[in-house]
Amino acid sequence: MHYLDNAATTRVLPEAAEAAVHAMCEEFGNPSSRHKMGIEAERLLENSRKTVAGALGALPEETFFTSCGTESTNMALRGAAYLNRHKKGHIIVTAIEHAATLNTAKQLEAEGFRVTYLAPDETGHILSAALENALTEDTILLSCQLVNNEIGTVQPVDELGALLKRRCPKALFHIDAVQGLFRVPLTPKKWNCDFMSVSGHKIGAPKGIGALYVKKGVRLPPLMYGGGQEKGLRPGTEPLPGIAAFAKACALRAARLDEDLGPRGGFGRLFKGTGG
């Protein structure tokens, strides 16, 4: 059998699996503990954060670990909406988003927020003109995929972000980059992006680890409350084995980025031998 569904998930890279096992068996301290093993675990956590932040085009302090892309998207959309709960403002998402975005938008709609679902053109792209027609003085949030998970279209997020900030300077912009990580160079600052979701299992890390970019200066309310990890945004003891594996996968992909994105590049080549 030949596996041809890397857009859905990828086989864990051997080096990433080794990084996870090392974290589980050797550096298994709690990063919040103030003894030697805890401090070593915290060092691994923060070094991994730097690596993943580099892949996101972000600063380490703008990079928060989550369990998956769905959680990252929920944190961004619900957090941005709750920042404007007193306004019950206007939210825009595209009609071809992943279910993590669409179902979150539907729930926010049920809570009293007004949601517009932007339709793509015949090529699957969201046009700036469509966004401009949808924007209102009450718009508080735009969410758009970078790369569509079904048809692969790459959205013009640079144009959309620039338009949003020009017309609605206080509105927030979320990009679902789960399918874009290491397929498209990520430049959230260039895109006027406030939040960006990614997931590890799309690039050779295990399932159960993701990350959320939160632009420096933007404060999101947490969806959960606990021990204050991840600056209080995502409390709970950090899943260090998954984080270490995610960082290792990012390092491996970054080392091959030019080759993968070149004219003869191919995402699947990194995962050769995935047939059964």
Per-residue pLDDT tens digits for 89-114: 999 999 999 999 999 999 999 999 99
Q: Is a pLDDT exceeding 90 seen at residue 261? A: no
Backbone region of residue 112 per phi and psi (left: phi > 0; alpha: psi in -120 to 50; beta: other values) = left
Q: Please, what is the average pLDDT of the chain?
A: 93
pLDDT band at 260 (very low <50, low <70, confident <90, very high): confident
What are the residue ranges spanned by the domains of the chain? 14-271
Whole-angstrom Cα distance, residue 103 to residue 124?
Answer: 20
Burial category of 10 from C-beta neighbours within 10 Å (exposed 0-12, middle 13-18, buried 19 and up): buried
Contacts of 142 (CB under 8 A, 6+ apart): 91, 92, 93, 131, 160, 164, 171, 172, 173, 174
CATH of 14-271, one of 3.40.50.1970, 3.40.640.10, 3.20.20.140, 3.40.190.10: 3.40.640.10
pLDDT band at 211 (very low <50, low <70, confident <90, very high): very high
DSSP conformational letter for 102: H
Q: Is a pLDDT exceeding 50 seen at residue 140? A: yes
Q: Which residue, among 26, 111, 99, 63, has the nearest Cα to 246 in the 3D structure? A: 63
Q: Is a pLDDT exceeding 90 seen at residue 1? A: no
Percent above pLDDT 70 for the chain: 95
Q: What is the structure's pLDDT at 273?
A: 41
Helix boundaries (H) for the chain:
14-25, 36-56, 69-83, 99-110, 128-134, 157-167, 240-255, 257-261
Burial category of 110 from C-beta neighbours within 10 Å (exposed 0-12, middle 13-18, buried 19 and up): exposed
Q: What is the structure's pLDDT at 87?
A: 75
The stretch 65-88 carries a mean pLDDT of 93
For the chain, how far is it from start to end, CA to CA, in angstroms?
5
Bridge partners, residue 90, by sequence: 114, 139
Q: Is a pLDDT exceeding 80 seen at residue 270? A: no
Contacts of 132 (CB under 8 A, 6+ apart): 163, 167
pLDDT band at 276 (very low <50, low <70, confident <90, very high): very low
* Global pTM value: 0.93
Q: Which residue has the higher pLDDT, 102 or 85?
A: 102
Residue 214, both tokens: 């939160």
pLDDT band at 49 (very low <50, low <70, confident <90, very high): very high
Q: Is a pLDDT exceeding 60 seen at residue 167? A: yes
Helix (H, G, I), strand (E, B), or coil: what is residue 118? strand
Q: Is a pLDDT exceeding 70 seen at residue 269? A: no
Helix (H, G, I), strand (E, B), or coil: what is residue 265? coil
Q: Is a pLDDT exceeding 60 seen at residue 274? A: no
The stretch 44-54 carries a mean pLDDT of 98
pLDDT band at 263 (very low <50, low <70, confident <90, very high): low
